[in-house]
Amino acid sequence: MDVLVFGAGSLGSLVGGLLAREHDVTLVGRDPHVATVRESGLRISGAVDETVTPDAATEPPAAADLAVVTVKTFDTPAAAAALAECDLDVVLSLQNGMGNEEELATSVSAPVLAGTCTYGARMVEPGHVECTGVGEVVLGAREGGQSDEADSVGVAFDAAGLDVTVATDMPRRLWEKLAVNCGINATTALARVENGALVDGPAGETARAAAREVAQVARDHGVDLSAMQATTAVSGVARTTAANTSSMAQDVQAGARTEIDAINGYVVANATDPVPVNETLTHLVRAWEIGQDLRDDGP
Ligand code: PAF
């Protein structure tokens, strides 16, 4: 299968690198990472240890069987515009936050699948990504139900050795992953700890309280997600990615804009009852972004 991975950051490079064991993969991202991968291949270390040789470019190729989108949520409109120019059979969003699939579907004519990914990834240096936790990819039709496209993408991921589940209940899965990100990302970014600190430590209670609020908002939107399912998912991902620095903690370490608006901020914006834990986490991360001149909607 010809696979284009749009967004060769840490997670995109890891997923694309693993897919390159079996498929013809093009990683689309920025230099110097892309130039290094083109010249010397992509080294994967950590829980997986191998060097693979995907193609790599700063612009997407004209056509591919599958496009996997891994950019940050605030770059989804740009990804949608770029992919609108490609001849694609199917698109899969493997991004954090909500609303990405709808945004892609406004520009791309191929079917857009929803996906979640709990693999942990860290960019060590250009051309080298570390797998800090073997998680799971879950994918399926974004509105739920069976999908032939999802079945074939599942077969392709499985053939490359990724842990993949094809699900018929993606709306619930997306809310569950949102609970995981709401619990883990801002908490680890603010406390400057790795995900494993949330398994037993004091920040873990904050993470689980945020997840319980997400489950309540999900149920208010007609999605069957219990508080127990949400907190169990947070603790489970914190355990399996214990050595991982979450994507938001990596953004804060790098002085880069975070996905707070599409994660805890999304929950605050879509809640009908108070969600004080998510609101506090959102305010604190936004305050940090304002202090770094990464956003200008401060007081
Ligand atoms: O954003 C992240 O870091 C990841 O989605 C996850 C699963 C929380 C692991 O760190």
Do 175 and 207 fall into the same domain? yes
Region 5-16: mean pLDDT is: 97
Look at residue 296 and tell me if it is in a domain. no
- Mutate which of 184, 188, 252 to test ligand 1's pocket (most atoms within 8 Å of Cβ)? 184
Q: Are residues 177 and 286 in the same domain?
A: yes
Report whether pLDDT(24) > 70: yes
52 or 135, higher pLDDT: 52
> Is 298 inside a domain boundary?
no
Please check whether residues 191 and 273 belong to one and the same domain. Answer: yes
Q: Do 149 and 184 fall into the same domain?
A: no
199 in a domain, yes or no? Answer: yes
Residue 215 lies in a domain: yes
Q: What percent of the chain clears pLDDT 70, i.e. is strictly above it?
A: 99
Beta bridge partners of 140: 114
Domain contains 257: yes
Instruction: Give distance in angstroms: CA of 121 to centre of ligand 1.
Output: 8
Same domain, yes or no: 145 and 197:
no
What confidence score (pLDDT) does residue 298 get? 55
Q: ipTM surpassing 0.95, yes or no?
A: yes
- Asked if residue 110 is part of any domain, the answer here is yes
Average pLDDT estimate for 272-282: 98
Atom of ligand 1 nearest to the CA of 259: 1
Strands 164-166 and 128-133: unpaired
Q: What is the mean pLDDT of the chain?
A: 96
The reply to whether omega before 32 is within 30° of 0 (cis) is yes
Instruction: Record the pTM.
Output: 0.93
Q: Which pLDDT band, with edges at 50, 70 and 90, does 133 fall under?
A: confident
Pocket test for ligand 1, best of 96, 123, 138, 245 (most atoms within 8 A of CB): 96
Residues 149 and 182 in one domain: no
**So what's the pLDDT on residue 251?**
96
Mark whether 183 and 220 lie in a shared domain. yes
Domain boundary among 166, 198, 225: 166
Contact 76, 14 (CB under 8 A): no
In a domain? residue 297: no
pLDDT band at 15 (very low <50, low <70, confident <90, very high): very high
The number of the ligand 1 atom at minimal distance from the alpha carbon of 135 is 7
Q: Give the ligand 1 atom nearest the CA of 181.
A: 8
By annotation, the residues acting in catalysis are 177
Name the E strands within the chain: 2-6, 24-28, 42-46, 50-52, 55-57, 63-69, 87-93, 112-117, 120-125, 128-133, 137-141, 164-166
Going from the Cα of 62 to the center of ligand 1, the distance in angstroms, rounded, reads 31
Nearest ligand 1 atom to the CA of 250 is 3
The amino acid at residue 196 is G
Mark which of 120, 141, 166 sits at the end of a domain: 166
198 in the same domain as 134: no
Instruction: Using most ligand atoms within 8 A of CB, pick from 176, 241, 248 the residue to mutate for ligand 1.
Output: 241
Q: What CATH number did the domain enclosing 96 receive?
A: 3.40.50.720
Kindly report the three-state secondary structure assignment for every residue of 207-238. Answer: HHHHHHHHHHHHHHCCCCCCHHHHHHHHHHHH
CA of 181 to the centre of ligand 1 (A): 6
Half-sphere exposure of 261 (CA within 13 A, CB side): 12
The alpha carbons of the chain give a radius of gyration, in whole angstroms, of: 18
Span from the CA of 245 to the centroid of ligand 1 (angstroms): 8
- On whether residue 299 sits in a domain, the answer given is no
State whether 270 and 218 are in the same domain: yes
Residue 92 sits in the same domain as residue 178 = no
Is pLDDT above 70 for 158? yes
Of ligand 1's listed atoms, the one at least distance from the Cα of 245 is: 10
Q: Considering its fold, how many domains does the chain have in total?
A: 2
Angle, helices 276-291/170-191, rounded to nearest 10 degrees: 60
Residues 9 and 36 in one domain: yes
**237 CA to centre of own chain:** 13
- The whole domain housing 185 covers 170-291
Cα 114 to middle of ligand 1, angstroms: 16
CATH of the domain at 175: 1.10.1040.10
Q: Which tokens go with 75?
A: 């770059």
The domain boundary residue, chosen from 136, 166, 196: 166
Give backbone dihedrals phi and psi of 119, rounded to 5 degrees, phi first. -65, 140
Closest residue by Cα to atom 3, ligand 1, is 246
Same structural domain for residues 162 and 18?
Answer: yes
CA 247 – ligand 1 centroid, Å: 6
Pocket of ligand 1 (CB under 6 A): 96, 118, 120, 180-181, 184-185, 195, 237, 241, 244, 246-247
Residue nearest to atom 7 of ligand 1 (CA): 118
Q: What is the pLDDT of residue 299?
A: 47
pLDDT band at 296 (very low <50, low <70, confident <90, very high): confident
